[in-house]
Amino acid sequence: MKNDKNLDELFRDKLLNYEQEPPAYILDNVLAGVAGARRNRKIVFWRIAGVAAALLLAFIAGWQINTRNGQNVKPAVILSQQKAPEISTGVKPEIAANESENQSGNMPSEIVNKPGMENLQLAEVAKGNQVSKNSTKLLTENSKSEQIAFVVESLRIAKNEESALLKPVKSLFRLINSGSQNVATNLHEINKSTQQAVRTDKTIDQQIMEQNRQVMLAENQTKEKSRWLVGAQVSPEYNVSRSSHSQVYASNMLSASSNPVDLGGGISVEYKKGKRWSLQSGVYYSGMGQSSGNSSYSNRNITSSADFASNLGKEYFNAPVNIDSNNSKMMMNSTAGVIEFKGIPSGIVLGTNLEDKTLVSNAVVVSDARFIQNFEYIEIPLYLRYTLIDSKFDVEMLGGFSSNLLVGNQTFMESSAGKNRIGSTKDMESMSYSGTLGIGLKYGLSKSIYLNVEPRVKYYLNSLNSNSAVTYKPYTIGVFTGLSYEF
Amino acid sequence: MLYHHFAPKMFGVCLRYAKDATEAEDNLQDGFIKVFANLKNFRHDGSLEGWIRRIMINVSLEKLRKQHLLYPVEDVAIYDSVNFSDDVIAKIAADDLMKIIQQLPPRYRMVFNLYVIEGFSHQEIAKEMSITQGTSKSNLARARDILKKKIQENFSELVGQNNYTA
C-alpha cells in the first residue's frame, strides 16, 4: 500500500504541471470553431420560427379540413317519432332547402379536381412548345416535368382527402427523422474522413478537418442521450361552446347560458430525443359541461289552460319539448344535443296540446330550473414538443392530437328543490378527436424534478354529437400545472 | 492572450488523458472552443486555470463516453505485482512516463489520472464515469500494475541497476 502511494506521488510530481507547446494550427482551428458557434446562434431564431410555423400549419390544416367536412350536414330531422301532422308539412320545405345546400356542400371535391385538369392542358401546351421551339427545349422540359408533377400531386390529393389530414403530422415526423438521418450520415462521414486524414499535411486536410469539426459542434448542440419524463398535471378547464344546428333544430332549442369551469388532469409520459424535440403521451381526465336556463322561449301565440298561460308571462324558463307517450320519455333540444329525460321530472309545468302551428314539438316546459349537461372524457394525447428556450426556465411549444373516450354523460336539473339527475344527452359520440396547441413553461426544482405550467387550447375536430342536425365542437382552455420527473 | 497562457499546460493535461498526441490535440481544440464559448459563465469563485482544466477533463470524459469505453472490460492478461524502488521512477523523464500512461487502456488511464493526478475520490470518479466505487478501485489497482510492468519492460536497465544497488 505504501509502495502504491509513493508511486502515485512520483507520478503526480512529474506530471501534474507537465507542459508541452501544442502545434500552432490548433489556435487557428479554435478561432474558426468559436466563429462557427456564433453563426449557429444566429440561425437559432430562424429554426424556432420555422418550427412554430410548422406547428401552426398543422393546427390550421387540421382545422380547415375538419371545417370542410363539417359542412356536409345531412337533412335535419327532429324527433321523427313524434306525431304532429300539421307541423310536419310545414317543415318539409326547410328540409328540402337543407338538401339543396348539401348538394352544393359536395362541390369542393369537384373544385379540387379542376386545377388538375387545367394543369393537364398546360402540360399539353408545354409539350407543343417543345416541338416548335428547339432553342428553349431544356427550359420547356423542366417546366413540363414540374407541371406533370403538380398534376400528379393534385390528382393524388383529390383522390385521397384523408391523407391531407395526416400530412402535417407526417411531415413533422419526416422532419425529425431526416434530421436524425442527417446526423447519422454526417457522423459516418466524419468518422470516415477522420480515419483517412493524414495529420502531417496541414493544408487541405486541416481545412477538411476543420469543416468536419464544425459539423460535429453543431450536432453536439442538438444531440444528447434520450430521456424519459413522467409527470402529473391538473388544470381548471374553461369550455367555450362552439356549435351549429339545422334551422328546425335551432328554432326549438334551449340556448346554453353559461359554461362552468371543470377540472381536468392526468399523468403524462414524455420521450425526449435530443435537446429540442420530444414526444408526449399519457392519460388525462377531462370534464366538460354547460348550463342552460332562463332563456325565454316567448312570443308564441299559445292558447291553453289558464293555469299554464299565467306562467308564460313570467321570467321563467320555458322550452318546447317532445313527449313520447309510449314510454313517458321527454326530450329537449340543447346546443350539445337532445337531452333525454328518464321521465317527466317534478317541479316543472308542462303544457301539452298547444295550438301553436309554428311549434314543432308537442309540449312546452315552464320552469325556473337550470339544466346542466356534464360530459366526462378520458383523453389519450400524442403531442410533439419543441424546446424554444433551454435553460433553468425552459420554454416549450407543443401541438398534437388526442383521442377522447366518453366515459360520463349526465344531465342534471337544478331548481329550488335541489339538484337531481334527470337523464343524459342523446347521440353523444363514444370516441372523438381533438387538436391541442400550447406553450409549456418548465422550471427545474432539482436536477430531475420540474414544475410545469402549460396553457393549452384544445379544440374538437369532429362533432361530439352524432345527431345530423347538431354540430357541437367546443373549445377547451386550460392551464395545466404539475410536476414531472426526468430519468 | 488566454490561449497562449494556458495552452501548454492544458496540452499537458490532454496528453495524459489521450492515447496519443493526435487525440490530445483534438481534445485541446474542443476544450478551448468550449472555454471561449462559455467564458462569460465563468464565476470568479475559483481559479481560471482550475475551471479550464475541468473543461479539458470533461471533454476527455465525454469522448470516452461516446466511444462506449465506460462499459466493463475484461482484462486479457493478469499482471503480477512488480515491486521496485521509488528511485527508478524518479530517474525516468516525464515525457517517458507520459508515454507509458498513454499506453494504458482508456478506462484505466481515466481512473488513474482522476485519482492520482487530479486527486478525485473513488466516489467522485464513480459518479463521473457512471461506474461503481468497487470498479474504480479495481481499475486503479490494475492501472498501477500495468504501469509497473511497463516500467520494468521499458526501463529494465534502471530497474536492474536499482535492484543491484539495493
Q: How does pLDDT run across A365-397, given as a tens digit for each residue?
A: 766 677 888 888 999 999 999 988 877 788 989
Contacts of B115 in chain A (CB under 8 A): 8
- At residue A100 the predicted structure's pLDDT band, cuts being 50, 70 and 90, is very low
Q: To the nearest whole number, what is the mean pLDDT of chain A? A: 69
Distances, alpha carbon A211 to alpha carbons A30, A32, A79, A322, in Å: 12, 9, 73, 78
Contacts of A33 in chain B (CB under 8 A): 29-30, 33
Which of A29-43, A213-227, A236-250, B80-94 has the least mean pLDDT? A213-227
**Percentage of chain A modeled with pLDDT above 70:** 53
- At residue B12 the predicted structure's pLDDT band, cuts being 50, 70 and 90, is very high
Q: What is the pLDDT of residues A37-94, one digit of tens each?
A: 777 766 776 777 777 777 777 777 766 666 655 454 444 333 333 444 443 444 344 4
- State which of A353-357, A416-420, A479-483 shows the largest mean pLDDT: A479-483
Asked if A26's CB is within 8 angstroms of B33's CB, the reply is no
Q: What is the pLDDT of residues A106-141, one digit of tens each?
A: 444 343 444 444 444 444 444 444 444 444 444 444
pLDDT at A107: 42
Q: Give residue A14's Cα distance to chain centre.
A: 65
Q: What is the mean pLDDT of residues B51-80?
A: 72
- Contact at 8 Å (CB) between A377 and A407? yes
Probe site for chain B from A2, A6, A7 (most B CB atoms < 10 A): A7
| Any A CB within 8 A of B36 CB | yes
pLDDT at A211: 73
Residue A243 confidence (pLDDT) above 50: yes
CA dist B56 and A425 (Å) reads 68
Asked if B25's CB is within 8 angstroms of A15's CB, the reply is no
| Any A CB within 8 A of B82 CB | no
- At residue A167 the predicted structure's pLDDT band, cuts being 50, 70 and 90, is low
> Between these two residues, A78 and A430, which has the higher pLDDT value?
A430
> Between these two residues, A66 and B95, which has the higher pLDDT value?
B95
| Any A CB within 8 A of B32 CB | yes
pLDDT at B55: 93
> Between these two residues, B154 and B73, which has the higher pLDDT value?
B154
CA dist A216 and A32 (Å) reads 13
- Contact at 8 Å (CB) between A291 and A254? no
pLDDT at A122: 42
- Contact at 8 Å (CB) between B126 and B134? no
